[in-house]
Amino acid sequence: MTKKIVRRERVVDDHLPDHLAPIIKQIYANRGIEKTQQLELKVANLQGLVSDEKQALKGLEQACSLLHQALINKTNIVIVGDFDADGATSTALMMVALSLMGSTNHSFLVPNRFEYGYGLTPEIVDIAAKQGAQMLVTVDNGISCVAGVKRAKELGLQVIVTDHHLPGHELPNADAIVNPNQYGCPFPSKSLAGVGVAFYVMLALRSHLREKSYFTEQKINEPNIAQLLDLVALGTVADVVSLDSNNRILVEQGLKRIRAGQTRPGIQALIEVANKNQQRLVASDFGYALGPRINAAGRLDDMSYGINCLLAPDLASARVMARDLDDLNKARREIEQGMQTEAESVLKSLSFNETNLPNAIALYQQDWHQGVIGIVAGRLKEKFHRPCVVFAKGSEDQKNTEIKGSARSIPGLHIRDLLEHIDSQHPNLILKFGGHAMAAGLSINQQDFDKFEKVFNELAGKWLKPEDLQSIILSDGELNIKHLTLTFAEQLRDAGPWGQNFPEPLFDDTFKLVQQRIVGEKHLKLVVEKQGEVFDGIAFNVDVKAWPNPQAKQVHLAYRLDVNEFRGKRTVQLLVENITSC
């Protein structure tokens, strides 16, 4: 898909600190920063803390009271997580925090996606009950698990739901629900990840226990909940939630702890196996290096392994698990690349190309791997700039006709709302669904795929405007040659954390092309020149049919200014997002 580069309107806010370079001020202003306080990423500036009852998460008081009694009574608590990095970090956070609060009778349970599917299902409740559970606490799931909670109540179990996903028309009959997106919740940051919700619950529980003199009576040292921020930062970025002011504080504080060596062995081992520098870790490393290795456990095997890595008591055992996760991630990449190639071949066989695409893409192939369909949907969405749903068989049971889909969307189309509309207009077409604006999951019967594909494409065409279907790269403009330096690249790094809806600065400019060659099969290594200065650059996953281009003498690049570390040497590098010959 040809991408159009659009430069952001130059907005400069004079209210920002004078010590900031004018271009940094401009970048901040373009991302909605209007006052100095928004740049003070301190824990004290978090929204909805316990002392601020008007902004507190709805349901916190009930959840804390229930957990307090569970700790006193030594109730058997089972944490029910999700099989992605947010679910893994949420589960690990709850496990660690409850131990710090004095619990010795808690465990976790994560449904295997290939056997039970997502969330607190009735089947998972039965398994937890057989293990002796008396209380279930969901993390990163539960808000749509009406049937599962009903089953738990039938068995006499208490249920606390902690989640961040959008609720449906019916809420589960849980004893307490903590979710910033539930109706009537005054918490201002609706973009908390599941791990962020879990963090706030544990923060509130500590305050509740302090007020009840629990720590004194139990002769337990009051725990420092800030030690959990490394998990919060990792899960928040890996789940690609919006980095609003609140999430930026959580991520920045987690990063500071990790860089200072105050992190758990599991995260340290993941940093090592990903060949990242712990002292210079940035937010994007969570999303592109650590998160995928944790996710690989849930995609190909059992997320319990990823959680156990995060809970590892020492570095030696953590390193063993991190290496295994790294191997799983390599296998995931191979499966993903094969599926993406097949998916693009299917589109080509349907006579679709970059200039002739449907409004939305829905694909199904019986032998595709269920654990990787979300990544493939995301890759296709990025390449073709269309909402995309990729389906795989939901079960090995030949009698089971259910297929499971993972959806990714583009700006301008709220994918969960679209699925809800389809469900209301075509009852029984979708068996179940849930998710966010940009990502969702669903199940349908295999025989209904053709009908779903038709309805999905037609409705997307009605909801999307023509301009929504144009892939646009927002640029911060041309970067002066004096800023193409290692010093300025490091300033940009330090100005973060960057992430979803608070994007890392991206610039565009025309350069003389000096050298070009393919490395690693499909990455384009570049040497370019501007005003007599020479710079290295790299463009990942290029079209090898188009590049290298021996005819190209000049190129227009959309790029990010990066610091490349190799054998102890640090140099400035252009990370190329888009390249055109000119």
Gyration radius of the chain over CA positions: 24
The rounded distance, in Å, linking the Cα atoms of 501 and 257 is: 24
Annotated domain spans of the chain = 55-326, 350-469, 473-581
Going from the C-alpha of 9 to that of each of 22, 242, 396, 499, the distances in angstroms are 15, 22, 53, 20
DSSP result, 241-285: ----HHHHHHHHHHHHHHHTT-S-HHHHHHHHHTT--GGG--HHH
Q: Which of 144, 77, 131 is nearest to 104 (CA)?
A: 77
Q: Is 499 helix (H, G, I), strand (E, B) or coil?
A: strand
> Half-sphere exposure of 198 toward its Cβ, with a 13 Å CA cutoff?
33
The rounded distance, in Å, linking the Cα atoms of 55 and 188 is: 7
DSSP β-ladder status, 106-109 and 77-80: parallel
Decide whether 55-326 matches 350-469 in CATH topology: no
Q: Is 409 helix (H, G, I), strand (E, B) or coil?
A: coil
Give the CATH number of domain 350-469: 3.10.310.30
pTM: 0.92
Give the CATH number of domain 473-581: 2.40.50.460
Mutual orientation of helices 265-273 and 291-300 as an angle, nearest 10°?
A: 100
Residue 76 tokens, joined? 């058997």
Q: Which of 568, 570, 488 is nearest to 536 (CA)?
A: 570
- The whole-angstrom distance between residue 204's C-alpha and the CA centroid of its chain comes to 24
DSSP β-ladder status, 554-566 and 569-581: antiparallel
57: left (phi over 0), alpha (psi -120 to 50) or beta: beta
What is residue 551's predicted lDDT score, i.e. its pLDDT? 94
The rounded distance, in Å, linking the Cα atoms of 442 and 435 is: 9
What is residue 13's predicted lDDT score, i.e. its pLDDT? 63
Q: Kindly tell me the number of DSSP H helices and DSSP E strands found in the chain.
A: 18, 17
> Half-sphere exposure of 297 toward its Cβ, with a 13 Å CA cutoff?
29
Q: Is 441 helix (H, G, I), strand (E, B) or coil?
A: strand
Residue 365 tokens, joined? 């192939």
Element (H, E) at 494: helix 486-494
- 523 CB burial (10 A radius; 0-12, 13-18, 19+): middle
CB 9, CB 148: distance < 8 Å: no
Q: Is 116 helix (H, G, I), strand (E, B) or coil?
A: coil
Q: Which residue has the tokens 């902004």?
A: 55
CB 211, CB 244: distance < 8 Å: no
Give strand ranges (E) for 85-131: 106-109
Torsions phi, psi for 173 (to 5 deg): -85, 60
Give the CATH number of domain 55-326: 3.90.1640.30
Other C-beta atoms closer than 10 Å to the C-beta of 115 total: 10
Residue 348 tokens, joined? 């080509």
The rounded distance, in Å, linking the Cα atoms of 573 and 480 is: 15
- 105 CB burial (10 A radius; 0-12, 13-18, 19+): middle
Other C-beta atoms closer than 10 Å to the C-beta of 428 total: 9
**pLDDT tens across the length of the chain (582 residues):** 678 999 998 876 677 888 888 999 999 999 999 888 899 999 999 988 866 678 999 999 999 999 999 999 999 999 999 989 999 999 999 999 999 999 999 999 998 877 777 789 999 999 999 999 999 999 999 999 999 999 999 999 999 999 999 898 899 999 999 999 999 999 999 999 999 999 999 999 999 999 999 999 999 999 999 999 999 999 999 999 999 999 999 999 999 999 999 999 999 999 999 999 999 999 999 999 999 999 999 888 889 999 999 999 999 999 999 999 999 999 999 999 999 999 988 888 877 766 678 999 999 999 999 999 999 999 999 999 999 999 999 876 667 789 999 999 999 999 999 999 999 999 999 998 888 888 999 999 999 999 999 999 999 999 999 999 999 999 999 999 999 999 999 999 999 999 999 999 999 999 999 999 999 888 999 999 999 999 999 999 898 999 999 999 999 999 999 998 887 789 999 999 999 998
Tens of pLDDT, residue by residue over 392-449, are 998 766 677 899 999 999 999 999 999 999 999 999 999 988 888 889 999 999 999 9
